[in-house]
Amino acid sequence: MEECIFCKIINREIPSHVVYEDEDVLAFLDITQVTKGHTLLIPKLHVSDIFEYNQELAATIFSRLPKVARAIEKSDPAIKGLNIVNNNREVAYQTVFHSHVHLIPRYDTKDDFSMRFGNHMADYTPDQLSTVAQSIKNELED
């Protein structure tokens, strides 16, 4: 895509700090560096989000995650954990519309990064949860 910043990084039209590359994926440091070592893993094929993945692309991208994650962990003995985040579409906080996975090293619980999940367990009965689960199952592709 002509105006996609990640496509420009793939094509070396703008600089980046590449940490891993093969014919299908590219991993490079996120310019924001939420924590030191914050890395993005992207497909070289331009797809906007996870909803555009086929099974082969998903296998390609997600099979590279452990390799890059282990490299990040080994790169700094101070790393105590890692968040893997994938935002899809604007309502889910996606800001660059070329699919990407964030690998965010964690050094301490006081890092400048947090993910908090609300607990709405009391809002759903077991029957309502069964209905939601069945609705999702009905949409699964073979």
CATH number for the domain spanning 56: value is 3.30.428.10
Instruction: Give 23: exposed, middle or buried? Use CB within 10 Å, 0-12, 13-18, 19+.
Output: exposed
Q: Is the pLDDT at 141 greater than 80, yes or no?
A: no
Based on the residue annotation, tell me whether 17 is a catalytic residue of this protein: no
pLDDT 10s digits, 81-132: 999 999 999 999 999 999 999 999 999 988 888 888 899 999 999 999 999 9
pLDDT mean over 53-64: 96
39: nearest Cα among 84, 4, 97, 92: 84
Residue in 38, 98, 100, 102 annotated catalytic: 100
Domain hosting residue 69, numbered range: 5-138
Q: Which of 12-26, 40-54, 107-121 has the lowest mean pLDDT?
A: 107-121
CA 104-109-71 angle, 5° bins = 30
Task: Count how many domains the chain has.
Answer: 1
The torsion angles phi and psi of 141, rounded to 5 degrees, stand at: -90, 150
The torsion angles phi and psi of 53, rounded to 5 degrees, stand at: -75, 140
